[in-house]
């Protein structure tokens, strides 16, 4: 929300008054033969962890958050064209910016990236034929989307396109709410841009819509027709729900609600800075720590969702700031040891919730295997589990593979149901075996469905 306001103010105060748009014919309304949804979703369900990249001219306006002033002003009496050039002038990505992002994501254990091909401001980061306000024509001087796609392919990452439906640059972007002719032009423009994105860059894995303003529900966006065109051009693509139709998966923003989406695929997008999506090279105390991110995994896995962790690269280089880089690397290292509990097919741990533990740990599950996540390591060398009804086959520490002992409650205790179902895991080392985040996971294999 804050960011939206900032953008609106920056733009209203300074910049975009008009640009050319062409009327183009919209896509086919015929829904293509789709791959089965499960087949399309398979990689996403296994991936669990991706990088969200917010990068564009808006990346320059971070000073606004500190001083509430713009870093500089558009020249007095500037023409609309000059204002646009001024607006994007500070966006100067190095040619290798995308490779840097993709390599960072890969090393951090992420499996896909979602990149802002066009944010609310309307600046198009690819070689479009539909507006002059694009990264070939002004600012960077090259097709940033092409670089991004190439870099993802080099690193074997899945490719996501963020696309903001909201558009402050297009002259009909606001008027389309009330005027039919404006709406027609704006929808044709929107569908034309999407057609370029879906045609010119080979296979694309995710279309991640955002900002469905100013139009609303009830078909105003022609979302069904628009997404049918997208799927015709990209039969394997998965699409989020922000064009105001359900499509393939839903997303929560800035929070993780493991119990919120029991019946749908979902992803939580989280800004590294608690509130801001863009570059912001200060205020690190408000950045999530590696342990925070590990704890996000715990909630994500429990809810069988995905985590899309945002970075806001430096407008001058396209590179991620050092604090995020360091923290992402730490999380990547932690994942090297604990990835088996995160990636791949996971199940909801509902029945495990009845098993209490005296270490303050949290359960996740994969089939008959239960994982006990331990934000605090218990000092006493053992963990007591109560209300265990399944048979345990083995217990170990995921962090280092060390085997644990399994003690059933002694006979004397079996008079009460509670103690009869007690299991004590023994042989835990005194200190947490995870030196990376001080956050270890135990793995307990049950003979049948664990409960
Ligand atoms: C918020 C922000 C927007 C960002 C989006 C990501 O809506 O205002 O800038 O792209 O979150 O989900």
Q: State how far the Cα of 295 lies from the Cα of 400, in Å rounded to an integer.
A: 19
| Dihedral angle sign, alpha carbons of residues 49, 437, 285, 363 | positive
Q: State how far the Cα of 337 lies from the Cα of 440, in Å rounded to an integer.
A: 9
What distance in angstroms lies between residue 119's CA and the mean position of ligand 1's atoms? 9
Query: Contact at 8 Å (CB) between 327 and 289?
Result: yes
Q: What is the pLDDT along the chain (451 residues), one digit of tens a residue?
A: 334 433 433 333 333 332 222 222 333 333 344 558 999 999 999 999 999 999 999 998 876 655 566 666 778 888 989 989 999 999 999 999 999 999 999 999 999 999 999 999 999 999 999 999 999 999 999 999 999 999 999 999 999 999 999 999 999 998 999 999 999 999 999 999 999 999 999 999 999 999 889 998 768 999 999 999 999 999 999 999 999 998 999 999 999 986 767 788 999 999 998 778 998 876 677 899 999 999 999 999 999 999 999 999 999 999 999 999 999 999 999 999 999 999 999 999 988 989 999 999 999 999 999 999 999 999 899 999 998 988 899 999 999 999 999 998 654 444 554 556 889 999 999 999 999 999 999 999 999 998 8
Q: Atom 5 of ligand 1 has which residue's CA nearest to it?
A: 210
CA atoms within 13 A on the CB side of 192: 17
Whose tokens are 């910049």? That residue is 15
Collapsed DSSP state (helix, strand, coil) of residue 65: helix
Collapsed DSSP state (helix, strand, coil) of residue 209: strand
Q: Ligand 1, closest atom to CA 52?
A: 6
Q: Ligand 1, closest atom to CA 278?
A: 9
Q: Ligand 1, closest atom to CA 4?
A: 8
Q: Where are the beta strands (DSSP E) in 119-196?
A: 158-164
253 lines ligand 1 (CB under 6 A): yes
Q: State how far the Cα of 323 lies from the Cα of 62, in Å rounded to an integer.
A: 16
Say what angle helices 180-199 and 223-233 make with each other, to 10 degrees. 20
pTM of the model: 0.90
């Amino acid at each position: 929300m804050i960011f939206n306001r900032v953008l609106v103010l920056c733009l209203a105060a300074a910049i975009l008054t008009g640009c050319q748009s062409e009327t183009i014919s919209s896509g086919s309304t015929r829904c293509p033969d789709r791959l089965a949804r499960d087949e399309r979703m398979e990689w996403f369900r296994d991936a669990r962890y991706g990088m969200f990249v917010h990068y564009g001219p808006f990346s320059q306006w971070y000073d606004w958050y500190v001083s509430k002033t713009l870093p500089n002003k558009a020249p007095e009496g500037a023409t609309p064209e000059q204002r646009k050039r001024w607006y994007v002038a500070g966006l100067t990505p190095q040619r290798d910016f995308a490779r840097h992002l993709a390599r960072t994501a890969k090393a951090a254990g992420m499996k896909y990236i979602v990149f802002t091909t066009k944010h609310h401001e309307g600046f198009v980061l690819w070689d479009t034929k539909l507006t002059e306000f694009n990264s070939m024509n002004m600012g960077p001087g090259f097709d940033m989307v092409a670089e991004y796609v190439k870099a993802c392919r080099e690193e074997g990452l899945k490719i996501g396109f963020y696309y903001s439906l909201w558009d402050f640059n297009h002259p009909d972007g606001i008027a389309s709410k009330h005027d039919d002719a404006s709406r027609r032009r704006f929808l044709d423009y929107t569908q034309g841009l999407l057609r370029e994105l879906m045609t010119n860059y080979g296979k694309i894995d995710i279309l991640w819509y955002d900002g469905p303003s100013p139009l609303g529900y009830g078909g105003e966006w022609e979302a069904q027709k628009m997404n049918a065109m997208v799927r015709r051009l990209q039969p394997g693509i998965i699409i989020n729900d922000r064009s105001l139709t359900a499509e393939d998966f839903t997303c929560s923003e800035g929070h993780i609600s493991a119990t919120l989406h029991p019946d749908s695929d979902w992803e939580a997008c989280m800004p590294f800075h608690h509130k801001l999506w863009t570059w912001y090279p200060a205020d690190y105390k408000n950045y999530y720590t590696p342990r925070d991110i590990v704890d996000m995994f715990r909630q994500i896995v429990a809810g069988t969702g995905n985590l899309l962790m945002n970075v806001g690269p430096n407008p001058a280089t396209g590179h991620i700031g050092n604090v995020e880089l360091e923290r992402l690397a730490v999380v990547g290292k932690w994942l090297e040891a604990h990835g088996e509990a995160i990636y791949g097919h996971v199940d909801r741990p509902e029945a495990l919730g009845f098993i209490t533990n005296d270490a303050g740990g949290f359960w996740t599950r994969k089939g008959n295997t239960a994982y006990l996540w331990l934000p605090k390591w218990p000092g006493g060398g053992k963990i007591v589990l109560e209300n265990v009804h399944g048979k345990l086959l083995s217990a170990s520490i995921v962090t280092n593979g060390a085997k644990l002992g399994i003690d059933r409650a002694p006979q004397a205790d079996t008079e009460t149901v509670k103690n009869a179902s007690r299991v004590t895991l023994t042989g835990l080392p005194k200190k947490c075996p995870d030196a990376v985040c001080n956050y270890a996971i135990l793995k307990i294999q049950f003979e049948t469905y664990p409960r």
